[in-house]
Amino acid sequence: MANNPIRGCQEGKATAKLLEIECPKCKGPIEVFVHLGGGIDKTGRTIADEICPSCGHVIKEGTPKDRFTLY
């Protein structure tokens, strides 16, 4: 078995995932990045403010992903 340099690495847990969600205002698509790990207070929350390109509605940093409808 070859040595895996990232075996046991915790970085993968701190990476963000790109999700396409439905804008709560206009129902258009918005791309948001969500924490996959990195602390219980951050997991599953947006990592930055994101603006709907259609209507300008702002999804604030730290919004829980369970508030979104996937597009």
In a domain? residue 6: no
Q: What is the pLDDT along the chain (71 residues), one digit of tens a residue?
A: 455 555 555 555 567 899 999 999 999 999 999 988 766 667 889 999 999 999 999 999 999 999 999 98
Residue 32 within any structural domain of the chain = yes
Q: 35: closest CA among 58, 60, 59, 62?
A: 62
Q: Which residues are registered as beta bridge partners of 59?
A: 50
User: What pTM was computed for the model?
Assistant: 0.71
Q: Does residue 2 lie within any of the structural domains?
A: no
Residues 53, 40: contact at Cβ < 8 Å? no
Count CB-CB contacts under 10 A for residue 34: 19
Residue 19 lies in a domain: yes
Query: How many structural domains is the chain composed of?
Result: 1
pLDDT at 60: 96
Distance CA 14, CA 69 (A): 23
The residue range of the domain holding 50 is 14-67
User: Tell me, what's the pLDDT at 42?
Assistant: 72
Query: Rounded distance, CA 63 to CA 49, Å?
Result: 9
Give me the pLDDT at residue 52, please. Answer: 97
> Does residue 36 fall inside a structural domain?
yes
